[in-house]
Structure 1
Amino acid sequence: MTRLPKTALTQTKLAVIAALIILTGCAASPERYQDNSAEQWQLKGKIGLWHGDKKESATIDWKQCSTDSMHIRLSGPLGSGAIELFADSDGASLSQNGETRRAASIESLAAQAQWPLPVDALRLWVRGRAAPQLELRSRINTRGQLEELEQAGWTIRYRYSEPDQTLPERVEAKSADTRLTLIIRDWSEQTGTCTPQ
């Protein structure tokens, strides 16, 4: 019987340990959240906005607590400091650098900030769903995933990392003069309440 040198034994042990760690990590990884019909959800990722000659980007944490209650936190290069958007059935507010603006809706606040975004439809579009009150054209891929949607003068394209995914990992929305790109790194169920910070 031939004996392996000590260094070969050590390398073999390390390889076995590394393989076990990788396999354990794979087995323990949580199942990806995939409910695109839920009214309560949270996404985290990055957002890029282009309108005319304006271009902005930020990290985004979007909590949707019901059909009319949401809390969106934008941080990073977009403007200066963090931006908090909050909306419910009573109206909407935008807070930045200690100042708060209020309006009847979150879309009104977006328009005041010179970002004409259909936020009410966007909460559905980001999950690969059409806004029910608007005319639409759509294209479904061979795996049954929504690939492209046209509504209200916007074209929305979707990318998925897995063939059985229902929630997208990338959303690109374009109108005549505005473009939005959303790269989603995490989808989860939203169980808390949406309140201004």
Structure 2
Amino acid sequence: MRFPAIALTLATLILGGCTSLQVDPLPEGLTEQPPASWNEYRARLNQFQQWELTGKLAVRQPSDSGTAVINYWNQNQEAYELALSSSFLGMGRTTIEGMPGFVELTLPDGEQYQSGNPEALIEAATGWQLPINSLTWWIRGLPGPDGDYRLFFDDQDRLAVIRQKGWEIRYDRWQAFIEGYPSLPARVTAVKGEKRVRLAVTSWRQTDGDSR
């Protein structure tokens, strides 16, 4: 696989341009004692496994920074499909399709790359150390099933921070997107060392699992 070519194309698509990403300090007053409703809340979110969201991604890392539009992120159980594009460059869409143990990357020119190690391929292509399998859990406000974790709650009994796999996932805002479901994350900031990834969600919707 020609990783330098992938890295140049995808990094330009996602990380090109210049953007400012402000990360607030970890707030004081958090507790690791879960609220009485946490188990019920977590069980409800665990049932939410077929969904689609749209939004925007902002990235800052030592080498570069920028923004990308998430045209859609479609999740069907463990399988996912993300379509990303750079609004400020006006370039075409890049898609990432996969599941635990497999990923396929499709560049704007239609060129495709596959790997049995999703995180390795994404890192080789973009420079990100992005735990994609865990992210499908974190984006719902849940710890991933693999690896130890710590949860921190605020004074309103909301999940404020997950620490897992060296990442600190900060839940900056929650919103009731879907009738009959608990509030879902509307803005999330993931921090690992000098890397900062912020996701602002425009919409969530429940799907029936049909593929695109």
- The separation in 2 between residues aligned to 1:151 and 1:84, in whole angstroms, is 26
Partner of 1:185: 202
The alignment status of 1:63 with 2:80, answered yes or no, reads: no
- Is 143-152 or 158-167 further displaced after alignment? 158-167
SS at match of 2:134: helix
Q: Output the amino acid matched with 1:84.
A: T
Partner of 1:23: none
- The separation in 1 between residues aligned to 2:152 and 2:75, in whole angstroms, is 26
- Larger Rg computed on CA atoms: 1
Q: Structure 1 length as normaliser, TM-score?
A: 0.73
* Cα pair 1:145 1:166 within 8 Å, conserved: no
**Structure 1: 5+ residue stretches without partners:** 1-34
- The separation in 1 between residues aligned to 2:103 and 2:147, in whole angstroms, is 23
1:136–1:91 distance in 2 versus 1, CA, 3 Å? closer
Measured against aligned partners, the alpha-carbon deviations of 1:162-184 in whole angstroms (never above 9, x if no partner) come to 59953110000010132110000
Post-superposition shift, 1:90? 7.2
* Identity across matched positions, percent: 27
SS at match of 2:185: coil
Q: Structure 2 length as normaliser, TM-score?
A: 0.68
- 1:142-153 matched pairs, under 5 angstroms: 142-153=155-166
1:162–1:91 distance in 2 versus 1, CA, 3 Å? closer
**Structure 2: 5+ residue stretches without partners:** 1-43
* Cα pair 1:145 1:165 within 8 Å, conserved: no
Partner of 1:93: 104
Q: How many residues align?
A: 160
Partner of 1:111: 123
* Cα pair 1:49 1:57 within 8 Å, conserved: yes
Q: Output the amino acid matched with 2:124.
A: Q
Alpha carbon RMSD of aligned pairs, Å?
2.3
